């Protein structure tokens, strides 16, 4: 067999082996994606409604009931939590959230705000460390977050820093899961609680606006404000409620990021498998042409030798 056809055959075998790997990774990512998406869809409604409850409290109290609800007039220091992936081979998932984070850091720097960065995930941490950006803390990101207690240390760090005056505001950078093919890097403000009623994670907020909550009708001339009764006292209730709301917000963001990462990886591996299949088809065609050309050349030599003998 000529050297050219041997090289092509060796390359076909190599690409076929790569295709087996990418196909296996696609199947694993698809299984993880189904679980992650199910978790996101199951928790979105609760997270959205809980956050809107806090929004109501802010609107009714003007942020005076608790320090976590009070917006500071001058913002000089901020904290940003960036949620990225632990591994690559997921298309532009990590690159997009890193780019969005860099843009936010530049915007805040132009405003004279010093941002402390907290990372969740190895890829974001490694990139920022390579750029010599100072990190306040780094948290391990589980491949599949199943319990809200996993993010409780992060929530405690943010709450204690905000109450102690280390941060004047806290933002969260994550990738919002829209569909299997679409994931959007997003930054929302989570402290003070909440920054606005439009910062709900996911897409449930468009279906459940605050104005649709059961309340007095304007047509009947009732007062639009809702009255809340706190037992035993507003401070004691909010001391327990608000940290749970912040944990819920961060937990939902981690779920959104997990679903986005597994979806992006599944799509990337599927594209890689399809590209490998196309390459195998092209190489097979080239191999057949080279083999046919070799056979034709050998037949021509045989015919030429016979004619010379005759």
Among the listed residues 69, 80, 83, 90, the single catalytic one is 90
DSSP 181: S
- Map tokens 């402390």 to a residue: 116
Active site residue 187: no
- CA-nearest of 129, 147, 32, 142 to 83 is 142
Structure tokens at 283: 């190489």
CA–CA dist 47, 202 (Å, integer): 10
CA–CA dist 236, 260 (Å, integer): 37
**What's the number of CA atoms in the CB half-sphere (13 Å) around residue 118?**
21
Contact 95, 57 (CB under 8 A): no
- Judged by DSSP in three states, 176 sits in strand
Cα-to-chain-centroid distance, residue 146: 16
CA–CA dist 237, 215 (Å, integer): 22
> What are the start-end ranges of the E strands in the chain?
77-83, 114-120, 135-139, 169-177, 183-191
CA–CA dist 260, 112 (Å, integer): 32
Contact 60, 228 (CB under 8 A): yes
- Judged by DSSP in three states, 263 sits in helix
- CA-nearest of 81, 54, 50 to 68 is 54
User: What crossing angle do the helices spanning 122-130 and 93-110 adopt, rounded to 10°?
Assistant: 50
Catalytic residues: 90
């Amino acid at each position: 067999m000529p050297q050219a056809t041997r090289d092509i055959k060796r390359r076909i075998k190599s690409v076929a082996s790569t295709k087996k790997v990418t196909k296996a990774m696609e199947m694993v990512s698809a299984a993880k994606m189904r679980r992650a998406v199910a978790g996101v869809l199951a928790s979105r409604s609760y997270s959205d409604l809980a956050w809107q409850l806090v929004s109501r409290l802010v609107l009714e109290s003007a942020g005076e009931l608790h320090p976590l609800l009070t917006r500071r007039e001058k913002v000089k220091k901020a904290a940003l939590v960036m949620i990225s992936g632990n591994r690559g081979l997921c298309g532009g998932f990590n690159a997009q959230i890193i780019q969005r984070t860099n843009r936010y850091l530049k915007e805040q720097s132009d405003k004279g705000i010093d941002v402390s960065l907290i990372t969740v995930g190895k890829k974001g941490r490694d990139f920022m460390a390579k750029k010599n950006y100072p990190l306040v803390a780094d948290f391990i990101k589980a491949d599949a977050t199943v319990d809200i207690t996993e993010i409780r240390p992060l929530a405690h760090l943010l709450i204690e820093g905000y109450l102690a005056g280390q941060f004047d505001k806290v933002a969260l950078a994550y990738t919002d899961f829209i569909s299997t093919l679409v994931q959007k890097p997003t930054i929302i403000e989570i402290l003070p609680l909440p920054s606005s009623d439009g910062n709900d994670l996911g897409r449930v907020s468009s279906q459940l606006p605050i104005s649709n909550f059961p309340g007095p009708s304007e047509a009947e001339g009732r007062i639009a404000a809702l009255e809340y009764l706190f037992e035993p006292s507003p401070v004691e209730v909010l001391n327990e409620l608000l940290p749970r709301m912040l944990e819920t917000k961060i937990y939902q963001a981690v779920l959104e990021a997990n679903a986005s990462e597994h979806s992006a990886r599944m799509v990337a591996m599927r594209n890689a498998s399809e590209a490998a299949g196309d390459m195998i088809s092209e190489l097979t065609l080239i191999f057949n042409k080279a083999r046919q050309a070799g056979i034709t050349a050998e037949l021509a030599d045989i015919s030429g030798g016979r004619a010379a003998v005759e």
